[in-house]
Amino acid sequence: MRINHTGEVCAQALYLGQAAVATSTDTREHLLQAAREEHDHLLWCGERLVEIDARPSLLNPLWFAGSYLIGAGAALFGDRISLGFVVETERQVEAHLDDHLERLPLADARSRAILATMQREEVEHGQHALDRGAVELAPAVRRIMGACADVMRFIAYRL
């Protein structure tokens, strides 16, 4: 659950960073709405961490700052590419949540419910970005994003 919590810290920061640089009001509002929903996910994961007597990542402030800068940087390439970044981010999050749900014990109904709800909303974020004209990111960019996510998961699990 710590990794999911950190992922929501990052997602919220990404979307806030992208919204800060977005050129269209529609794109900015879409990103701010997604950030609000990511904040809800963050709260749910935080509550669940308390319930299972676990702690969040010690590096969450660093994850937030780095993700905000990445989001703002992505948005500098224009709204359509920024929205493509949303689509790819949410695809990767959906895959992570699929994997986590497969490994999570069936008896942990509370965590499963949280993750399933988050997953549905993440898919919606990606679809809304597609509906607004997102462009497909280059395969190399998608691989770099995946590698960065792998590093974050590895470190957040431990710290």
Q: Which of 102, 134, 130, 133 is nearest to 115 (CA)?
A: 102
| Cβ-based neighbour number of residue 106 at 10 Å | 6
Cα distance between residue 22 and residue 15, in whole Å: 10
- How much is the pLDDT for 44? 93
DSSP single-letter state for residue 134: P
* Average confidence (pLDDT) over 118-127: 92
Position 68, amino acid: Y
CATH number assigned to the domain comprising residue 100: 1.20.1260.10
Per-residue pLDDT of 87-120, as tens digits, reads 999 999 999 999 999 999 999 999 999 999 999 9
Mean pLDDT for 70-99 is 94
Q: What is the tally of structural domains in the chain?
A: 1
* Alpha-carbon radius of gyration of the chain: 15
Q: What is the pLDDT of residue 70?
A: 94
Name the pTM for this structure: 0.90
10 is in which domain, residue-wise? 2-158
